Amino acid sequence: MNLNYPNGKKYKPKELPIDASLKKRKNGSYSNRGMTLEEDLNETNQYYRERKIAVIHKKPTPVQIVQVDYPNRSAAVIKEAYFKLASTTDYNGVYKGRYIDFEAKETQNPTSFPLKNFHQHQIEHMEEVMDQGAICFVILRFTKFEQVYLLEAQHLLNFWNRMMNGGRKSITKEEIEQKGYHIPLGFQPRIDYIKIIEQL
Amino acid sequence: MNLNYPNGKKYKPKELPIDASLKKRKNGSYSNRGMTLEEDLNETNQYYRERKIAVIHKKPTPVQIVQVDYPNRSAAVIKEAYFKLASTTDYNGVYKGRYIDFEAKETQNPTSFPLKNFHQHQIEHMEEVMDQGAICFVILRFTKFEQVYLLEAQHLLNFWNRMMNGGRKSITKEEIEQKGYHIPLGFQPRIDYIKIIEQL
C-alpha cells in the first residue's frame, strides 16, 4: 500500500545520505571501487556521529582568500584564492572525552607507502598532540588491494626519523602489516577505526 | 656591542611572531584596541603550543570550491568559490588528553549578547561533543568594554532553548557575569582561558 500525506503528496521513505552514497557502488556490492578514502571516512564519521559513538570531523581545506566580490542581492563570490599547506592533520574530534587526531592517505604503490604523503608541519603537529596525551594515528590505504591500515603516530614518527637520518623514503607494506592494524572494509561503518582504538 | 655573523652579516635577535603582533598596539600599552578576538585567540593558542600547555587550532573557513585554474608553472588559482556555513565550532584541540571545543564571538552591544551570533548547526555540534565528554564552551567579548567571558556550553544551550521556547533572543550581560567566568586580558597569553578550564 502506498501512503499519501494529507495534502495528497506521495509519501516517500526518507533516504539517509549514507544510503545514497552506497548507490555509487557497482553491482550492488559493497566494493570500494570509485569511493575515495575521504568519502569512506566521511561516511564512517557520519555513522559514528549518528550513533553517538564519536564526533570526528574532517577539517575544511585551508584556503588563502585574496579577492571577494559582493554582487547585489547574491552571495559573496570568492574570485581569487590559493590552497594553503595544512598546519595540522585533516581529522580530529572526540571519543569518550579523549581527543582523537589523525591523517588519512592513500597510495597506488603496491609494496610501500611513500613518506612524501606527509609533510614536516603535520609530523610536528602529531608530536605536539601526542605530548598532550592525544590518541593520534594515520590511516593508510593501498588502493590497488583496497587494504586499509591504522598505524599509530609513534611508529610513523620512527619511520619519518629513519628517513631524516638518511634511511628509506617510504614504509614497506610489510612494516605496516607488522606495526599497524588491518581494518577490514565493512558495510556500515566502512572503515571502523574506532574498533581498533578501543583495543589499544 | 654589536655581534656580526662570520660572513659579516649583522646579527639581529630573532623576533617571535607573537612579539611582532604586539607592535600593533598603540603607545606600547597592552590595550586591545585594533586586535580582533580572533587575533587575540590565535596569539593565545600559539602561546599555549609553544609552552606545551595545550594544542588548540582555529579551523579553516569552510569554502565551496567551484572553479580552479592551473596556470603553467604557477600555483593553482581558485577562480570561483563560496563561503559555506560551518557545521562545527571554530576552535578545537587537546589539553591534557581531553578534547576541548569552543566558539568565540564578539558583540558591539553593551548590555546583552545576541544569540543570532550562533546558528543551529553549531548548537547541535556542541550538544554532540558534550555527549562525548568534551570540554565545551564559548568565549564572548563585549568589544565596547574589552571584556571577555567564558561561558560553558551547557549554559549557552539553556539560553538557546529559552529563545526557542519564545523567550528573549539574547543573553543579558548580567546573566553572563553570573553564569560565566570573566577572563582578565593579559599580556602573554592575551586571553588565558585554559586557566579557567583548570579550575572547572
- Mutation target to probe the A interface, by most A beta carbons within 10 A, among B45, B51, B53, B78 is B78
Q: What is the pLDDT of residues A142-165, one digit of tens each?
A: 999 999 999 999 999 999 999 999
Alpha helices in chain B (DSSP H): 17-22, 37-50, 120-131, 153-164, 173-179, 193-199
Which residues of chain A make contact with B48, given a CB cutoff of 8 A?
none
- The reply to whether A70 falls in a domain is no
Q: Which of A118-132, A157-171, B23-37 has the lowest mean pLDDT?
A: B23-37
Residue B22 has pLDDT above 60, yes or no: no
> Per the domain annotation, does A80 fall within a domain?
no
Residue A171: CATH number of its domain: 3.40.1350.10
Dist CA A163 CA A174 (whole Å): 17
Alpha-carbon distances of B133 from A98, B99, B103, B115, B164, rounded to whole Å: 8, 8, 17, 24, 25
Average pLDDT over residues B141-166: 97
Residue A95, pLDDT > 80, answer: yes
Cβ contact B138:B103 at 8 Å: yes
Q: Report helix, strand or coil for A70.
A: coil
Domain of residue B143 covers 17-61+87-199
φ, ψ of residue A105 to 5 degrees: the values are -140, 150
Q: How far apart are the C-alpha atoms of B45 and A153, rounded to whole Å?
A: 23
Q: Does residue B49 sit at the A interface (CB-CB below 8 Å)?
A: yes
The 8-class DSSP code of residue A4 comes to B
**pLDDT above 70 (res B171):** yes
- Domain count across chain A: 1
pLDDT in tens, A28-59: 344 555 689 999 999 999 999 999 999 999 99
Scan for cell 594553503, then name that residue.
A84
Query: Which cell goes with B86?
Result: 560551518
Record: contact A99-B101, CB cut-off 8 A: no
Residue B39, judged by CB atoms within 10 A of its CB (0-12, 13-18, 19+), counts as middle
Asked whether residue A125 is assigned to any structural domain, the reply reads yes
pLDDT recorded at residue A2: 46
Is B123 inside a domain boundary?
yes
The answer to whether A77 faces chain B, any CB pair under 8 Å, is yes
Nearest Cα residue to B118 out of B96, B136, B138, B147: B138
Confidence of residue A72 (pLDDT cuts 50, 70, 90): confident
Give residue-wise pLDDT tens across range B108-146.
999 999 999 999 999 999 999 999 999 999 999 999 999
Q: What is the mean pLDDT of residues B86-114?
A: 97
What span, in angstroms and rounded, lies between the C-alpha atoms of B175 and B160?
A: 13
Contact B132 A96 (CB under 8 A): yes
**A105: buried, middle or exposed (CB in 10 Å: 19+, 13-18, 0-12)?**
middle
Within-domain flag for A9: no
**Measured between CB atoms, does B55 come within 8 Å of chain A?**
yes
A130 to chain B, any CB pair closer than 8 A? The answer is no
Does residue B92 sit within a domain? yes
Query: Which helix (H) or strand (E) covers residue A112, if one does?
Result: strand A112-114
Instruction: Quote the CA–CA distance of A193 and A177 in Å, as a whole number.
Output: 15
Does the N-terminal peptide bond of residue A189 adopt cis geometry, omega within 30 degrees of 0? Answer: yes
For the stretch B172-181, pLDDT in tens is 999 999 999 9
Q: What is the interface pTM, i.e. ipTM, of the complex?
A: 0.82
**pLDDT tier at B34 (50, 70, 90 boundaries)?**
low
Judge whether A133 lies within some domain: yes
The pLDDT of B35-51, averaged and rounded, is 96
Q: Find out whether B132 and A97 touch, Cβ atoms under 8 Å.
A: yes
Residue B79 located in a structural domain? no
